[in-house]
Structure 1
Amino acid sequence: MNIFLKTEDEIELMRDANLLVGKTLAEVGRHIRPGVTTLQLDRIAEAFIRDNGAVPTFKGFPNPYGSPFPGSICSSVNDVVVHGVPSDEVVLKDGDIVSVDCGALLQGFNGDSCYTFCVGEVSDDVKRLLRVTKESLYRGIEAAQAGHHVGDIGQTVQDYCQERGYGIVRELTGHGIGREMHEDPLVPNYGRRGSGTLLKAGMCIAIEPMVTMGSREIGILPDRWSIVTRDHRPAAHFEHTIAIRAGKADILSSFDEIEHLEGQNF
């Protein structure tokens, strides 16, 4: 395992990349409404990232089982947990949810963040899924301090969601991040306190709960990218990139502009 601790200067460069990702997600959010296709959202994201001097890191990302990823965002609708492929055939409808995962490379460092958006009027039970998933992310971040372990994050997220009746996807995890989009260590959303990699100041990781309304069992669609719930019930996904500190973690990405646009916090 190769874990690269970042200097303060490098953390600031990572903050720039992650704040750009947050602004990109907000720009995409401005266009999320019934009748819009996920391919339209993808084009908006790519143009915004490139106009701000960065490169969309998802585009062309290799797949050992199929073709490279074709989009600049992952757009995962309803029962698609993650890695949804943008398409002009996927038209958003009133009552849908769509998780938009985005990465950007700026000044040699990566940003990575995800937000699950409501499309029009969404049912109360789905809103609760989103609210609990996002809250579990922040609780996981609270556990992410130097001297703690990756398992402290995982158990915190797992307990919070499972106690409220939701499933935690096991096959997909958060990850280290820096000059590469995916670095060591893996950061599962389940685990046992005191286990796993020791967290040290200067580590940068992406924490990303992937939470299902029903069973945690997943499958993959024929596109060899889109991961779906086996029972086809909705799933939510929220992600922040953080820097580990001796005390409270430093959140490098931001939902502030998204939540301002929404006018409410889920």
Structure 2
Amino acid sequence: MSKLKVLIVDDEWNMRNLLRIYLMKEGFEIKEASTGKEALALVHVHLFDVIILDVMLPDMDGWQICRQIRERVNTPILFLSARTETRDKIKGLDIGADDYLTKPFDSEELLARLFSLIRRSVMNQTTPVQPARGLSFPDLIIIPEAREVRICDHPIEFTQKEFDLLATLAQNIQRAFTREELVERLWGYDFEGEARVVDTHIKNIREKMHISGLKYNPIQTVWGVGYKFNVCGDTHEK
């Protein structure tokens, strides 16, 4: 059985060495980068099972690196940072990261989170391939299997979490979700951030759809509960 491959991106040698010790004991194959350019170069030539990414790096910040990685691959990304502000956690998740853990950290928790991310990624990759079927609404088509959104017949780009959130609501049009339920579905039960991270994603989805020419708001706020999909007209599978 091949080893799980992890990329560690941190400019502090002591931190990379500590992570290397923890992860090698668990059988991981390790690659390291101390700068953003090194990290992006490695992502270009290697396939990783998970990426551990610091926020503060000498040439570019972790936010920029995360965005550029997401343009290429959907490898799970865990931010490991000394920045503990809730807004930093929300920003990291908003731009495409899958989890956020603050330093100092417990090694067992880090490993648990990494394996959780890898399991979810493997499950997504091994789902049986079926013909792509879309949910069709007025001027809006969502194709969950292809992770594609089209507005007025034009493809619209969404981050991983934005798409997951939109698809979850669109596939459950009779249900209103609380923020906590959406967090559990999209980030997992071990997510330690604020449930308000959902609000940030909803705002981004609405703005992108408005700019793209959609004439109605597809996500309805259910006061005192959370959110539900706003069905404008009849829906059918296409």
Same fold flag (TM > 0.5)? no
Using the size of structure 1 for normalisation, the TM-score is 0.26
Using the size of structure 2 for normalisation, the TM-score is 0.28
Higher helix share: 2
Bigger-Rg structure (1/2): 2
